């Protein structure tokens, strides 16, 4: 886990809110799949990045969840304290924006799975000719690389490159996007040259990332709000395994999800009740989709062509 999470009581939340209140210079409410999330901080750069990343919400709407983000020498690096009752998270001494936005999405996921029967998937979702593909996996398996590789085809449209919400409607799973613009890596264009120039070189942060509007590269009509999920590919990178592609039975797919923490290191609350909820959602997902395990030890183009073969797309050059 890249940061630590401690659950706190509503009384402890009140004390922390009072401690942070004098330092709050910026408050902004954003809409994340119907949830109103309020960011409170003293960091102007964080505010600007957040506003590029998420859609605005009317400031007259009461918030469903809150994120306080501050530097505090009395706390350790990358420390999260979360009150699940009031849905309030305190993030202390974070420098990497990717974790901040993922915790915000995890906060929405906590709200939606408890109150609305909507699940979160820490993964990418791409629509190809009306059919949705989800790609999940552990960090470094190639999820982002392969997502943008698919977008080189004009028939592919993106729902999300990192996190989406899923809801069951009868025999179908609908996947919904979560972010207005995406937090991309600077080295993306080194693999797929089509994505060069999305962000000026001096706009990338210290982690080599920036929020970018990919419509500039793929066109305005190719970022969709939702798709019907048909395929799930679990990515792994294991040089010791010669097997490249394995179709998965439902029980094997469920085992991989549960053994890997649902491929989501940003779940704020973990307990038997939450495990039961998440297991049920995953079962519903895999029963309604075709699932595969794909080993990404080949070159990005080799892996891309395996994915395109599954989706019956033309190979990449």
pLDDT digit string, tens, across residues 175-225 = 999 999 999 998 888 899 888 888 888 889 999 999 999 898 888 889 999
A 10 A CB-CB count for 145 gives 20
Residues 6+ apart with CB under 8 A from 264: 106, 120, 121, 122
Residue 114 has pLDDT above 60, yes or no: yes
Average pLDDT over residues 246-269: 97
Amino acid 160: pLDDT:
96
List residues bridging with 188 in a β-sheet: none
Residues 6+ apart with CB under 8 A from 142: 235, 237, 296, 300, 303
Amino acid 98: pLDDT:
96
Structure-token pair, residue 142 = 């190639």
Amino acid 203: pLDDT:
87
- For residues 1 and 51, the model is more confident at 51
Amino acid 201: pLDDT:
81
Amino acid 200: pLDDT:
84
Nearest to 59 by CA among 88, 30, 81, 33: 30
> What is the DSSP secondary structure assignment for residue 289, as one 8-state letter?
S
Give the whole-number percent of the chain exceeding pLDDT 90: 89
| Confidence category of residue 1, pLDDT binned at 50, 70, 90 | low
- State pLDDT tens for residues 22-40: 999 999 999 999 999 999 9
Contact present, 132 and 125 (Cβ < 8 Å)? yes
- State pLDDT tens for residues 297-306: 999 999 999 9
- State pLDDT tens for residues 46-64: 999 999 999 999 989 999 9
Amino acid 180: pLDDT:
94
Amino acid 2: pLDDT:
86
Mean pLDDT of the residues in the chain? 95
């Amino acid at each position: 886990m890249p940061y630590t999470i401690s659950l706190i009581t509503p009384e402890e939340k009140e004390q922390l809110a009072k401690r942070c209140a004098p330092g709050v210079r910026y408050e902004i409410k954003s809409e994340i799949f119907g949830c109103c999330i309020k960011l409170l901080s003293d960091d102007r750069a964080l505010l600007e990045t957040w506003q590029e990343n998420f859609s605005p919400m009317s400031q007259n709407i009461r918030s469903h969840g809150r994120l306080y983000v501050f530097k505090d020498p009395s706390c350790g690096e990358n420390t999260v304290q979360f009150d699940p009752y009031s849905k309030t998270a305190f993030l202390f001494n974070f420098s990497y924006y990717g974790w901040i936005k993922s915790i915000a999405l995890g906060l929405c996921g906590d709200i939606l799975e408890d109150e609305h029967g909507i699940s979160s998937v820490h993964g990418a979702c791409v629509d190809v000719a009306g059919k949705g593909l989800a790609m999940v996996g552990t960090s470094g398996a190639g999820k982002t690389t392969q997502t943008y590789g698919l977008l080189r085809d004009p028939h592919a449209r993106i729902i999300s490159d990192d996190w989406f919400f899923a809801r069951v409607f009868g025999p179908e799973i609908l996947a919904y996007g979560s972010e207005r613009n995406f937090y991309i890596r600077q080295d993306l264009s080194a693999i797929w040259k089509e994505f060069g120039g999305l962000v000026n070189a001096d706009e990338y942060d210290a982690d080599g990332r920036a929020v970018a509007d990919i419509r500039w590269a793929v066109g305005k009509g190719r970022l969709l709000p939702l798709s019907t999920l048909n395929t799930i590919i679990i990515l792994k990178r294991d040089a010791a395994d010669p097997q490249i592609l394995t179709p998965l039975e439902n029980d094997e797919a469920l085992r991989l999800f549960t053994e890997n923490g649902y491929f989501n290191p940003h779940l704020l609350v973990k307990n038997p009740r939450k495990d039961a909820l998440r297991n049920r959602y995953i079962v519903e997902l895999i029963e309604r989709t075709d699932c595969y395990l794909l080993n990404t030890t080949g070159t990005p183009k080799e892996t891309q062509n395996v994915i395109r073969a599954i989706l019956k797309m033309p190979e990449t050059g």
